[in-house]
Amino acid sequence: MATLAAWVPQRPARRGGAWGTLARLAGHPSAVLGALIVAAVAAGAVFAPVLAPYAPGASDLENRLAAPSWLAATPGGHWLGTDGLGRDLWSRIIFGSRVSLLVGLAATLLSLLPGLVLGLAAGFYRGRVDGALSRFAELLMAFPHLIFAIGVMAALGPGFWNLVAALAFKGWVEFFRVARGEAMAQSAREYVDAARAVGASSARIVGRHILPNMLHTSLVLGTLRMGHFIVLEASLSFLGLGLPPRLPAWGTMVAEGREVMLTAWWVSTFPGLAIVALVLAVNLVGEGLRDVLDPRLRAE
């Protein structure tokens, strides 16, 4: 019995912990590039009042739809130009990064945590718990995420937490399915049978053995889904169903420039490029984490 207890793994094998993971991640140039872009956007969001030359809502009607200063024949003080109300685009893009990052992070966390817990419970205990949760998840999967979020926002109205709730209420399904599959696979492994044989409780088996061995999968999925949530937030803002109009959001800025695309292309182009750059960067980091953390994709 003592030999069997010693054989049961207490934690998954790791190489260097967090520092080892970072060192391996540094070997992925695309992941490093993505991390640098995300860090730059995050720094801009934190220091927006210092970096932005104007308040995001300050209007200058005399300079409405002014071209970027580096393109204008008479350079002015608006590096990326102004919108239809004369608001500085550079300042609004910097402040808008706060919206994208906060909504993306909040929606990811509020999707990952319940999805991981419920998926772990369904995959480990099976039975009626698994049946009820799986049927509810399948019901939510029948609705496209954007259409579902539009319906929720139409009912709740614009607002930060309403927007996060609209994204997370269906977003947990992906984490649930992945966690359920991983829990079912891990619970069938020999080390779980050995843990039961030495008298380990279900809570100890789940917390000490199964969860650590499947956590990396949910973390990688969370990184990839964050980009998806940022796109959904921009889509809802574009449709006028995101945050209140007084708050700068990249999707709202793209929508405001639709009518002047031929004469003032910069109004929509620069916020759109910001969305593309941030989502691409987040996805690059997620792909790098997948390669680093998944033992099937890296040499032992």
- Residue 22 DSSP label: H
DSSP assignment of 134-168 equals HHHHHHHHTS-HHHHHHHHHHHH-S-HHHHHHHHH
| Tokens of residue 227, six digits | 């980009």
pLDDT of the chain, 300 residues: tens digit per residue: 334 333 344 444 444 556 666 667 777 788 899 999 999 999 999 999 999 989 988 888 888 888 888 776 555 578 888 888 889 999 999 999 999 999 999 999 999 999 999 998 888 888 888 888 899 999 998 889 999 999 999 888 888 999 999 999 999 999 999 999 888 888 777 777 787 788 777 778 787 778 887 888 888 899 989 999 999 999 999 988 888 888 899 999 999 888 888 888 999 999 999 999 999 999 999 888 887 776 555 544
Residue 43: per-residue pLDDT: 95
CA distances from 294 to 14, 15, 201 (A): 11, 12, 28
Q: Which amino acid is at 273?
A: L
DSSP-assigned letters across all residues of 180-235: HHHHHHHHTSHHHHHHHHTT--HHHIIIIIIHHHHHHHHHHHHHHHHHHHHHHHHH
- The rounded distance, in Å, linking the Cα atoms of 236 and 253 is 12
Residue 10 pLDDT: 43
Are 283 and 34 a contacting pair, CB within 8 Å? yes
Q: Are 35 and 285 in contact (CB under 8 A)?
A: yes
Asked whether 178 and 119 are in contact (CB, 8 A), the reply is: yes
3-class DSSP string for 67-89: CCCCCCCCCCCCCCCECCCCCEH
User: Rounded to whole angstroms, how far apart are CA atoms 211 and 7?
Assistant: 18
CB 14 within 8 A of CB 277: no
Domains in the chain, please, with CATH? Answer: 27-297 (1.10.3720.10)
| Cα–Cα dist 75/158, whole Å | 38
Residues 6+ apart with CB under 8 A from 5: 198
pLDDT value for 20: 63
The residue assigned the tokens 């239809």 is 84
* pLDDT at site 6: 39
